[in-house]
Amino acid sequence: MRTVLWLPLLCFVVTPAAYADKTAATTCAASPQPHARLVFDAVSAKPQPELTLRAVLEKRVRELVFMDRLMVNAA
């Protein structure tokens, strides 16, 4: 019975840690190689919440390759 009472409190305490902040994301985004940074910037510039991340990545990487901004072997 005590476990059942502590479960909602545990969920409340753990949940705030799941949110990302913009400063940490920017710091993390500054560390990848140039071609990875190019893809990150392209995907984050046009957020599309109605599509899956995989679909957005495929679409943006295909655009970058066709515009000769990214080589196929780097994609």
In a domain, 5, yes or no: no
pLDDT band at residue 58 using 50, 70 and 90 as cut-offs = very high
Residue 52: inside a domain: yes
CA distance 75 to 70: 7
- The reported pTM is 0.57
- Residue 42 belongs to some domain of the structure: yes
- On whether residue 13 sits in a domain, the answer given is no
Can you tell me the distance from the alpha carbon of 43 to that of 63, in angstroms, rounded to the nearest whole number?
A: 11
Looking at residue 33, what is its pLDDT? 86
Burial class (CB within 10 angstroms; exposed 0-12, middle 13-18, buried 19+) of 40: middle
Question: Structural domain tally of the chain?
Answer: 1
- Predicted pLDDT at 50: 92
> Is 60 domain-assigned?
yes
pLDDT of residue 21: 80
